[in-house]
Chains A and B, each alone.
Chain A
Amino acid sequence: MAEVTYPADLKYHPEHDWARVEGDVATFGITAYAEDQLGEVVFFDPPEVGTQVTKDESYAELESVKAVSDVIAPLSGEIVEVNEALAAEPEKVNEDPYGDGWLVRVRLSDPAELDALLEPPAYEELLAQES
């Protein structure tokens, strides 16, 4: 299990997803809380490159030993890359959720959406309320 941290350079979505924005492209993944709740991830069903994703809507599925879960897009845009390495090693989502366990890269269509995402303290406060 990864250490439960919430890096300061990421923005967080209340559905336990993160986005790392670099220019007009963002990397998406799930938070340490989410991977811990899911349990060991056994399969990532990625979208195809070129697919449009919409903020707050599901864009992929993660299957763990417990359940199959929808992954929610923190921002809108077009998929430009998916993490192919997860096909062979889906456990990277658990081991390194903010690094090798990233899921997709997206060319953002509406950078203004960024304002709606949470900073780490606000996200951690949300987690405290949930548990």
Chain B
Amino acid sequence: MPGVMATAADGLSRAPLQDEGVRTIYEKSQPGRRAFVAPPIDVPVRPLDELLPARLRRIEPARLPEVSEPEIVRHYVRLSKRNFDLDSGFYPLGSCTMKHNPRLHERIAALPGNARLHPLQDPRRAQGALELMWRLQAALSEIAGLPHVSLHPSAGSHGELAGVLLTRAYHEDRGEERTRILTPDTAHGTNPATVAMAGYEVVKVGTNEYGGVDVEDLRAKADQRTACLMLTNPNTLGLFDPRIEEIAEIVHGVGATLYYDGANLNAIMGKSRPGDMGFDIVHFNLHKSFTQPHGGGGPGAGPIAVSSEIEPYLPRPQVVRRCAGADGQEPFFDLDDDRPRSIGRLRGFQGNYGVFVRSYAYILSLGADGLQSASETAVLNANYLMARLTEVAGDYLPPAYERTCMHEFVLSGGSMRRQLGIRTLDLAKRLLDFGFHPPTVYFPLLVDEALLIEPTETESKETLDAFAEAIASILREAGEDPEIARGAPYTTPVRRLDEASAAKRPVLRQPRATPLGA
């Protein structure tokens, strides 16, 4: 039990992986060592110049690590063990939807027709892949409640950028120049960042006492300069905004678009549709709601669904189904580049195809009923965990808003800090010693010492109970000795990191390694 041995700060009970020095694969290199033996040449040897002219050849040999196969395997397996991942434990990182990735999806993504497809393959010879993409577009369209989908964007933030560029194209096409985009103060940081990147001015909208959009503030700020309101519903407090129709009316009343940040779609799949709420543009985080190993920087996918008014501006090419022609030709799938009002290409090739395969497999496995039940269970799990935590830790970590939550919820660590002298950061670090990934911390910013917890539907009651019990133990322990949490973690490959130095004096370059024995 890591929690027991974790109290020793003297290094006596460190996990074995802490003792492994961090050596790169280059530092493990030995001249001449190989992971394979090439077979003897059994064809006539031709001069190198004949095969590849000297001007195309590199002058110095590439500096590649020279290691044996077991060394390679151990190196990467060890690295993987130094990481915390969803396959090793509970990972309730709020707004990231760290749900289990079914292994079935990996089998399907690994089929040679999927895994070995070349991105430059002629569409005529990639009909299966294009059909999968076309069918995924149709499924996402149904889930969003909006008629058109583009699979181009490769991340949620990329989908946001696409959405803002579409908004601009839409306004410009009508001869309007709008300069401002509204985002609530609970928005994901990517919203204002996207707005700034696209050259718009960010205008913050406040939050009311129930955790929803301050509608009066919105009414005061929405005007002819407003291009768009970017909204997440349920928002990052895990709360559904019941005034969404009124909000949509205000936004459309000034001629602006309403953008749906799909980061929290896991709460409402098959229950309610952003299109029905009045949203014009929606992005999906396929890697969140529709399963995908993520959290290490990709690959992801952030498709967008849009209304008919926005459709002409969608990125190109679009995956389309061409109908049978007069020449008796069968219908076929194609990439349509003939889109004169399009905002253009957003990336090379057609997106992270492996992500599409896994998400499509997920949608087909679950079906409409299954997706609905996934969302219901995600909301149930979040409410159960919120109730459990209120029971065992409510004096120190009360919910920021006393409402039924959706798929995630926010606790405030303000009274924990005042009464026990430990901060949310200390609690988060200490959780690692109990084998749990910490929740999102210090976000949303409007909650003091915030903890944003998203358990997802794939966790069992036992796991949720164990997490609540771990939090209760940390609080009890802090009541006796707050130094334990302040010094955590103790059992991880690296201890508490110096975040300030990392930001002020970042080491951006690995010192050039000298091979052992050289």
Q: Which residues of A contact B (CB under 8 A)?
A: 37, 39-40, 42-43, 63, 65-67, 90-91, 131
Contact = CB atoms under 8 A, between A and B. Distances in A.
Interface string B384-422: 000000000000000000000000000000100010000
A42 B500 CA distance: 6
A131 B500 contact: no
A102 B504 CA distance: 19
Contact of A66 (B418, B442, B504): B442
Given A66-B442, A67-B442, A42 B503 contact: yes
Give the top 9 A-B pairs by smallest Cβ distance, nearest first.
A42-B503, A40-B500, A65-B499, A66-B442, A42-B504, A42-B500, A65-B500, A67-B445, A131-B414
Given A131-B414, A131-B448, A43 B503 contact: yes
Nearest to A41: B500
B499 A40 contact: yes
Interface residues on B, range: under 10
21 contacts: A37-B448, A39-B442, A40-B499, A40-B500, A42-B500, A42-B503, A42-B504, A43-B503, A43-B504, A63-B503, A65-B499, A65-B500, A65-B503, A66-B442, A67-B442, A67-B445, A90-B504, A91-B500, A131-B414, A131-B418, A131-B448
Query: Which of A63, A65, A91 has the largest number of chain B CB atoms within 10 A?
Result: A65
A82 B448 CA distance: 30
Nearest to B448: A131
Interface of B: 414, 418, 442, 445, 448, 499-500, 503-504
Contacts of A40: 499-500
A90 B504 CA distance: 9
Nearest to A42: B503
A66 B503 CA distance: 11
A43 B504 CA distance: 7
A45 B448 CA distance: 24
Nearest to A70: B204
B203 to A, nearest CB: 13
Contacts of B499: 40, 65
A63 B506 CA distance: 15
Given A42-B504, A43-B503, A65-B503, 6 more contacts: A37-B448, A39-B442, A43-B504, A65-B500, A90-B504, A131-B448
B182 to A, nearest CB: 17
B312 to A, nearest CB: 37
B12 to A, nearest CB: 30
Nearest to A67: B445
A40 B442 CA distance: 13
A107 B500 CA distance: 33
Nearest to B505: A42
Nearest to B504: A42
A30 to B, nearest CB: 16
A122 B206 CA distance: 24
A76 B500 CA distance: 32
A106 to B, nearest CB: 24
Contacts of A67: 442, 445
A91 B448 CA distance: 22
A49 B326 CA distance: 73
A115 B500 CA distance: 37
A63 B445 CA distance: 14
A40 B445 CA distance: 16
Nearest to A89: B504
A67 B444 CA distance: 11
A127 to B, nearest CB: 11
B289 to A, nearest CB: 26
A65 B503 CA distance: 7
Contacts of A66: 442
Contacts of A65: 499-500, 503
Contacts of B504: 42-43, 90
Contacts of B414: 131
A39 B448 CA distance: 12
Contacts of A42: 500, 503-504
Contacts of A37: 448
Nearest to A66: B442
Contacts of B445: 67
A66 B418 CA distance: 19
A63 B189 CA distance: 14
A37 B448 CA distance: 8
A43 B414 CA distance: 25
A65 B448 CA distance: 15
A39 B423 CA distance: 11
Query: Which of B445, B499, B504 has the largest number of chain A CB atoms within 10 A?
Result: B504
B338 to A, nearest CB: 43
Nearest to A94: B500
Nearest to B445: A67
A83 B456 CA distance: 47
A89 to B, nearest CB: 9
Contacts of B418: 131
A64 B456 CA distance: 30
A95 B414 CA distance: 22
A131 B499 CA distance: 26
Contacts of B448: 37, 131
A63 B442 CA distance: 14
A33 B445 CA distance: 15
B281 to A, nearest CB: 27
B32 to A, nearest CB: 46
Contacts of A90: 504
A39 B425 CA distance: 11
A1 to B, nearest CB: 11
